[in-house]
Structure 1
């Protein structure tokens, strides 16, 4: 059973993905999120196509692992059922971490810069965001970039973790921690 902390952090991401705010994730929500993300990036057809493929691949993975009643829609509770099983799904977490790293690393240099991270958060939140406080919390070695290994660790801490003190708690930006 997911904790209140896990529910709070996952709900924030879920709500950001739920483009029409109907409490359900559908393919159209991932398409809308992809378009928001493309709108804040430098456009280049090959990279744009790759981002679309990654995001729709993530939708397919989410649908396959979460859609309990097979209605082609995913509720927050269905996502949380998967979160409860993630400790045994390291391959799924690693796969989505690799894909998301590739999507975030716009220039393909093998690192995520502070600006690339900011554009990710702005795409997810749908608004301008100052990430200057959050990015250093994620950057474990303080070099101003996130390596693939750093990002994979953060991604795993976010999705499978239950520690409010973990750096990965903030991978999707700030949110209010539960009281108590």
Structure 2
């Protein structure tokens, strides 16, 4: 999903392209601040976390390096990586929250994932319902942060955060 060019590896450029896709999905061509903030968050995540997971030092992350690296990062610097992921979550929520109410509704959620990641609308309907743990029809920052933390750190197969990117 993060490997936008489909070559089986993750590079910083893949993340930056995802940021560009998200900006395009919400037509932010005139808002350089929001785009720069998201790109900056992706760059910091790459520099501080993802690039250090490159165990064979070939300049890219394959799936095994990513999975092992995320587990190691969560074990060794849980607060640090969660803080950097939180900055990224805040940046993309500021882009996707088109009505400015501080929440992501199902339409914003669908737009974000369909147009930036190509996720199935049917999977996203189920994912949204699973992530909306308080059942109010919106995803708040705390719900998204909790889901992000669960997605990357939880061993619980029933954790709502496992649906962060749809049915994987």
Q: How do 1:23-34 and structure 2 match up within 5 A?
A: 23-34=8-19
Gaps in structure 1 of 5+ consecutive residues: 1-15, 176-180
Give the deviation of 1:127 after TM superposition: 5.5
Q: Does 1:74 align with 2:61?
A: yes
2:108 aligned partner: 116
Q: Is the CA contact (8 Å cut-off) linking 1:98 and 1:148 kept in structure 2?
A: no
Give the deviation of 1:160 after TM superposition: 0.7
Q: Does 1:90 align with 2:101?
A: no
TM-score by length of 2: 0.80
Give the deviation of 1:124 after TM superposition: 4.4
Shift in CA distance, 158/128, structure 1 to aligned 2, threshold 3 Å: closer
2:7 aligned partner: 22
Q: Does 1:48 align with 2:35?
A: yes
Question: Matched residues in 2 for 1:155 and 1:101: separation?
Answer: 12
Q: Does 1:101 align with 2:93?
A: no
Gaps in structure 2 of 5+ consecutive residues: none
2:144 aligned partner: 151
Q: C-alpha offsets along residues 91-125 of structure 1, whole Å, 9 cap, x if unaligned? A: 21232133223312324543222233223322442
RMSD: 2.2
Q: Is the CA contact (8 Å cut-off) linking 2:86 and 2:145 kept in structure 1?
A: yes
Q: 2:155 aligns with which of 141, 144, 162?
A: 162
The total of aligned residue pairs comes to 160
Q: 1:59 aligns with which of 10, 26, 46?
A: 46
Provide the secondary structure at the position in 2 that maps to 1:133: helix
